[in-house]
Amino acid sequence: MIKIITAAERHQARAGDWLTSHYLFSFADYYDPGNVQFGPLRVFNDDVIGPKAGFPSHPHADMEIITIVLDGAIRHHDSLGTETTITAGQVQRMTAGTGITHSESNEGEEAAHLYQLWFLPNKRGLAPSYEQMDVDFLSSKDKLVPLATGQKVLEDVVFLNSNSTIYHGNFSEGHEFDFQTFKIRKTLVYVTKGNLLVSNVELGQHDQIRLEDMDVVSLHAASDASFILIDVPATEANY
> Which fold, 2-233?
Jelly Rolls (2.60.120)
Name the nearest CA neighbour of 168 among 66, 74, 94, 72: 66
Which residues, other chains included, contact 206 with Cβ-Cβ below 8 Å and sequence gap of 6+?
7, 10, 22, 46, 190, 191, 192
Mean pLDDT on 127-156: 91
SS3 at position 120:
coil
pLDDT value for 152: 75
Residues 88-101: tens digit of each pLDDT = 999 999 999 999 99
Q: Is the pLDDT of residue 207 over 90?
A: yes
Strand partners, 133: 91
Average pLDDT of the chain, as a whole number: 94
pLDDT value for 237: 60
CA–CA separation, 225 and 178 (whole Å)? 16
Residues 44-91: tens digit of each pLDDT = 999 999 999 888 889 999 999 999 999 999 999 999 999 999 999 999
Per domain, the residue ranges of the chain are: 2-233
Name the nearest CA neighbour of 71 among 203, 179, 193, 186: 193
Tell which wins on pLDDT, 152 or 204.
Answer: 204
Name the nearest CA neighbour of 220 among 204, 200, 194: 200
pLDDT value for 224: 97
- For 12-18, the CB contacts below 8 A with 24+ separation are 17/50, 18/49, 18/50, 18/53, 18/54
Band the pLDDT of 187: cuts 50, 70, 90. Answer: very high
- Helix (H) / strand (E) containing 147: strand 144-149
Share of the chain above pLDDT 70, in %: 98
